Structure 1
Amino acid sequence: MIEPARLTEVLDGPYRELRRELREHLTASDTVGLDIEAHRAQVFDQLGELAASRHSRLGFAKAYGGEGDIGGSVVAFQMLGYGDLSLSVKAGVQWGLFGGAVQMLGTERHHAKYLPDIMSLALPGCFAMTETGHGSDVQHLRTTARYDKGEFVLNTPDDDARKDYIGNAARDGRMAVVFAQLIVGDRSYGVHAFLVPIRDATGFPMPGVRIADCGAKAGLNGVDNGRLWFDDVRVPKENLLNRYGDVTDDGQYTSPIESDSRRFFTMLGTLVRGRISVAGAAGSASQRALTIAIRRAETRRQFRKPDSDTEVPLLDYLAHQRKLLIPLAKTYALHFAQDELTGMLADVQSASTPDPIAQRKLESRAAGLKAVTTWHATSTIQTAREACGGAGYLADSGLPALKADTDVFTTFEGDNTVLLQLVAKGLLTDYRDNFADLSPIATARLVAEQLMGSVLERIAARQVISQFDDDVRSRAWHRSLFEGREQHVLEGLARRLRAAAASDSDPFDVFNDVQDHVLLAGRVHIDRLIFDAFVAAVEGCTDAEVKGLLEQVCDLYALSAIEADRAWFLEHGRISAARSKKVTAEVNALCKALRGQAGTLVDAFAIP
């Protein structure tokens, strides 16, 4: 039997020392029976304890008292997912969203003035982007910030434009980063971010600021979500976070980015850390749920074998193995994909010279992984609850709180359906760029080469299937299916859009008619990236025994993903009916083989 600590070393990856340190400081929080105010007070006290540690400083520049470790800040947020998720979200609002916006959208004057107090929690803050009438459609927010004689005047035109679901707003926040349409004279220059005091030092709302409590939620009640309205609220010109746009003393708008649209998406792109952090916390929640359910399944017994007085442990039943070990394999896959994404974030945001291509890839991967990981958490926690029977419905099992607290993860930091569309849009942009600046002859040649490549790819895929006819665990075969599906779906989507664009169809109808295809393209692309990340982690493992175990878990992930989408693979001639049946048989065999290692696999998460 492999010691879990050996597997933990692999899971902890390049941040193993930080993870080890954070585990030592994480303590359990008893929230059962707390009313909302008591829960909020407890979480704010715990936030103060975090502020006194290095947790709050990790992601900020050393020049202002931080540690300059962007990846470490994401890992720290991910580790908080092992405890009360209200605390992890509250920390995310303070240091990820509020502090992150000041850091990424502001300039030196903002950094020097505000970052030390943000890190120490002397200045609790909010991130006021979402409006009641506009959630995902940030570009068309309706709060206004009109320039007037050296100040900006913020207004909420109506209730539809109130800032809604704003963490830290209802109780603790004293300042907000408010996203509003910047207006100079008669022209709007699009959405910009402004620092707006919302409470004075005694806790009362500032003049012109109205604050309301969102009230009880399904979960995360330790987070004080509130609503904000602004009525002729004046802030100094210097309160504009001006990295990407500014207003001169004589009232002229200036920006290093001429296009309003490109400037907007560049600003949003710098805030990608929030999505990556949410994906990490969702992964931690999935690990917690599976740890609870698998430990329960190893000890809880039900029914006797014939001619036996001993009842059978739940985890000995194949149905229970499939219920828990398949999501466990995907949780492992997502963990390694998350680590890879965290490394990309650190590389991109630490680079001395911005790389727009790397930034675009980061944003796309962050959007897709956040969607897939949070959907997985929702499904896995529900499965774990069911696997624990009535005991899993008791509050002190921890599962009901996990269910309630993570449910909103599929919505905030971007609605998952919208995020998958962003992934597909990025893929289509890359696809289109292959045709950019080509002459008609060159374009025709490229299309011919792609068609020939597609034919050769299918021939190669059949050869791979034939070559590994008796080995459905072949990594080459898995890769051919993941890559072939992604390429086929994207090419089919591009063809449909090109054909529609050549007609007189309404652009909205064109996109709406292929929305199912768009979402599929985003999903299968992320599936392939997750598979690649898992394979890379296995190949990089130097402990032979641990590598052998991870090989089996990776096989289970790949084959269960193929099994789940075997209708597509069968419809498109990628697998035969006999091979489809063999995949299911192999998933069953892997579940049985891993049954004895299930405890090791969850203990390796080393959840405090």
Structure 2
Amino acid sequence: MAQETFLDPTELDIEAHRAQVLEQLRALARTDRPGLGYDPAHGGGGDVGGSLTSFEMLGFGDLSLMVKAGVQWGLFGGAVQLLGTERHHREYLRRITSGELLGCFAMTEHGHGSDVQHLRTTATFTDGGFVIDTPDESAVKEYIGNAARDGELAVVFAQLITGGESRGVHAFLVPIRVGGEPAPGVTITDCGRKAGLNGVDNGRLAFDGVRVGRAALLNRFADVAEDGTYSSPIESDNRRFFTMLGTLIRGRISVAGSAVNATKRALAVAVRYGERRRQFFTPDGDEVVLLDYRAHQRKLLPAIAKTYALHFAQERLVSTVHDLGTEPAEHDQRELESRAAGIKAVATWHATRTIQTAREACGGAGYLAENLLPALKADTDVFTTFEGDNTVLLQLVAKGLLTGYRDYFADLSTLATVRFAAEQLVETLLERTSARKVLDRLAGAADDEVLFDREWHLRLFEDREEHVLDGVARRLRKAAESGDAFAAFNDAQDHVLRTGRVHVDRLVLEAFAAAVDRCEDSAAAALLGRLCDLYALSDIEADRAWFLEHGRLTSGRAKAVTAAVNTLCAELRPYARVLVDGFAVPEQFLRAPMLES
């Protein structure tokens, strides 16, 4: 990236921006990066971790390029690789990698975004092939990247119908352009200007009797014979559907990593500005640097701490995906899906909040497009709702914790979740750990001994998770006695979301603590250790109400937590620039006029 002129498109109109992003996509295609995650037999690198990291790195620059690359090589190419079989790999993967064949990932519909299982587009088997149809307006494929301008082939998710029977959602390869024009039966419209990411040509797709061959079905998990007979190695339609979707989590992981990197960029800009901008005078007549104000430190330093925490959590997630390979055991796959969903939700929410904070920290200068932050705000805003709406993703995390990924709850349905909670003894949901014992032992210790104790942080997060999980299970169990599973779950939805959130918070803290422990440089480890303390104590401070309500903190210790956060902000202030320089954002992406004047 540092060798290319991938500069920010602050003065470009939509068409020029799209053209620039396509040109940059072609430049990426000339490297070995796009194919890193593909099978070496088809020109790939067989390096899943390297592929994910490469996508994340694009988060430092124009996020339209990251998204378009993610659509081309992550979603479109990834679906061909992970849902297709050898015949698809042989025919398409090299052309996808080189950028010769540009494609789309057509899942979302106008009426169905998160509820993928009930998509309405149909693929009906007849006369040896499939006919793709959009039955009504709610089935129009919506917000499809690469569709409005550049895409030629789309992976279309549709209800497979054969022999008069629907077999659920499957993926099909459908041409959408021939010779640069819409293919027969395909209607393409442009979504137009968006709040951000205008270098991505999002479009709408509708199909009217579009015929494709039998080989168009991506048939790793199911196939249709010449006579229309349906077969699958996975008997349950629900199980097959969730297995199919589970293979596609790399896009979600890439979004999380890109969001973290965009956040790093915003913080690097804000800290550099905070170290040079001066406002108001001391009694001695010296004009004060912004970052010397405690309020300014409070804005930026806890955000830096959380960004480091999420970096290490993301690093651990990518390593796990890489190590598990393309065919992980079912339990590992379920756990991976849950962790990817949770980190994506927390990382993208953190990005939207932190980039806004960085903008405010730069005052009016931060509102000028030339100073980078407005585009970061606009481009990352949609991250909270694409590749999975964050609210839905946290529910997925919580449901996984409640059901323990029991085989017969693979569909994660509301009824199954409530029934499980009703039938089981709550105490069997989660084996009690030693967390409470540790907290009880430390309860009477002096604040100075406890507040910077890493074990206390870890056990407090662990205990909070256990308590919240037990609480929601008891609540669902009691509510289920009414016999209305939907009402029971809906009534407890706030509790369910908190369950997912505190679980992810615990995972993130553990990842940060593990990173500190493995750091071999003593000075770096000491600095990271204080930053880890700040992350933990900031989280505890933000959730003081819960800790006080549930007797985990006394009022005196809660006040001491706030004082400790202030102390850490003062202690870390001299290292603010070191910490953001540690993000290693390429200098070309930090060229803002407000940092040069």
Q: 1:134 to 1:447 in 2, by over 3 A?
A: closer
Distance (whole Å) between structure 2 residues aligned to residue 527 and residue 535 of structure 1: 12
- 2:238 alignment partner, SS class: helix
Alignment of 1:370-519 (within 5 A): 370-430=344-404, 453=432, 457-467=435-445, 469-471=447-449, 472-501=451-480, 503-519=481-497
2:152 counterpart of 1:207: no
In structure 2, which of residues 297, 303, 306 is the aligned counterpart of residue 330 of structure 1? 306
Give the structure 2 partner of residue 362 of structure 1. 336
User: Contact (CA 8 Å) 1:26, 1:83: kept in 2 or not?
Assistant: no
TM (norm. structure 2) is 0.93
Distance (whole Å) between structure 1 residues aligned to residue 207 and residue 287 of structure 2: 65
Q: 1:433 to 1:181 in 2, by over 3 A?
A: closer
Distance (whole Å) between structure 1 residues aligned to residue 239 and residue 424 of structure 2: 32
Q: 1:450 to 1:357 in 2, by over 3 A?
A: closer
Give the structure 2 partner of residue 44 of structure 1. 22
Structure 2 unaligned residues grouped into runs of 5+: 410-421, 587-597
Distance (whole Å) between structure 2 residues aligned to residue 445 and residue 54 of structure 1: 51
What do residues 324-380 of structure 1 show as CA deviations (whole Å, max 9, x unaligned)?
0010100000000000000111122345xx300110010000000000000000000
Distance (whole Å) between structure 2 residues aligned to residue 452 and residue 221 of structure 1: 49
Alignment of 1:107-186 (within 5 A): 107-186=85-164
What is the Cα deviation at residue 465 of structure 1? 2.5
What is the Cα deviation at residue 470 of structure 1? 2.7
2:234 counterpart of 1:257: yes
- 2:166 alignment partner, SS class: strand
Q: 1:185 to 1:444 in 2, by over 3 A?
A: closer
- 1:60 alignment partner, SS class: coil
* Cα RMSD (Å): 1.9
Q: 1:87 to 1:434 in 2, by over 3 A?
A: closer
User: Contact (CA 8 Å) 1:464, 1:476: kept in 2 or not?
Assistant: no
Give the structure 2 partner of residue 584 of structure 1. 562
User: Contact (CA 8 Å) 1:468, 1:477: kept in 2 or not?
Assistant: no
- 2:24 alignment partner, SS class: helix
- 1:56 alignment partner, SS class: coil
In structure 2, which of residues 25, 47, 53 is the aligned counterpart of residue 69 of structure 1? 47
Q: 1:215 to 1:433 in 2, by over 3 A?
A: closer
Distance (whole Å) between structure 1 residues aligned to residue 79 and residue 29 of structure 2: 18
Give the structure 1 partner of residue 215 of structure 2. 238
What do residues 423-471 of structure 1 show as CA deviations (whole Å, max 9, x unaligned)?
0010001187999xxxxxxx999767889958x7535422123246432
Give the structure 2 partner of residue 7 of structure 1. none
Give the structure 1 partner of residue 590 of structure 2. none
Q: 1:590 to 1:64 in 2, by over 3 A?
A: same
User: Contact (CA 8 Å) 1:27, 1:83: kept in 2 or not?
Assistant: no
2:12 counterpart of 1:34: yes
TM (norm. structure 1) is 0.92
In structure 2, which of residues 15, 23, 31 is the aligned counterpart of residue 53 of structure 1? 31
What is the Cα deviation at residue 250 of structure 1? 1.5
Distance (whole Å) between structure 2 residues aligned to residue 251 and residue 540 of structure 1: 56
User: Contact (CA 8 Å) 1:283, 1:373: kept in 2 or not?
Assistant: yes
- 2:234 alignment partner, SS class: coil
Identity %: 65
Q: Which amino acid aligns with 1:475?
A: R
- 2:468 alignment partner, SS class: helix
2:550 counterpart of 1:572: yes
Give the structure 2 partner of residue 9 of structure 1. none
Q: Which amino acid aligns with 1:363?
A: E
Q: 1:150 to 1:277 in 2, by over 3 A?
A: same
- 1:606 alignment partner, SS class: coil
Q: Which amino acid aligns with 2:488?
A: V
What is the Cα deviation at residue 264 of structure 1? 0.2
Q: 1:453 to 1:337 in 2, by over 3 A?
A: closer
User: Contact (CA 8 Å) 1:81, 1:285: kept in 2 or not?
Assistant: yes
Moved more, 503-512 or 377-386: 503-512
Q: 1:434 to 1:93 in 2, by over 3 A?
A: closer
Distance (whole Å) between structure 2 residues aligned to residue 171 and residue 125 of structure 1: 11
Give the structure 2 partner of residue 292 of structure 1. 269
Distance (whole Å) between structure 1 residues aligned to residue 459 and residue 342 of structure 2: 21
Q: Which amino acid aligns with 1:402?
A: L
Q: 1:61 to 1:449 in 2, by over 3 A?
A: closer
User: Contact (CA 8 Å) 2:76, 2:103: kept in 1 or not?
Assistant: yes
In structure 1, which of residues 216, 236, 255 is the aligned counterpart of residue 193 of structure 2? 216
In structure 2, which of residues 575, 585, 594 is the aligned counterpart of residue 597 of structure 1? 575
What do residues 473-509 of structure 1 show as CA deviations (whole Å, max 9, x unaligned)?
10111011100000000011111111222x2331110
Q: 1:335 to 1:451 in 2, by over 3 A?
A: closer
What is the Cα deviation at residue 24 of structure 1? 3.9
What do residues 169-206 of structure 1 show as CA deviations (whole Å, max 9, x unaligned)?
00000000000000002110000000000001x20011
Q: 1:25 to 1:392 in 2, by over 3 A?
A: same
What is the Cα deviation at residue 207 of structure 1? 0.4
Distance (whole Å) between structure 2 residues aligned to residue 34 and residue 583 of structure 1: 48
Q: Which amino acid aligns with 2:466?
A: Q
User: Contact (CA 8 Å) 1:175, 1:196: kept in 2 or not?
Assistant: yes
Structure 1 unaligned residues grouped into runs of 5+: 1-22, 436-442
Q: 1:108 to 1:533 in 2, by over 3 A?
A: same
- 1:81 alignment partner, SS class: helix
Distance (whole Å) between structure 2 residues aligned to residue 434 and residue 422 of structure 1: 16
In the alignment of these two chains, the number of paired residues is: 573
Q: Which amino acid aligns with 2:161?
A: I
User: Contact (CA 8 Å) 2:436, 2:459: kept in 1 or not?
Assistant: no
- 1:182 alignment partner, SS class: strand
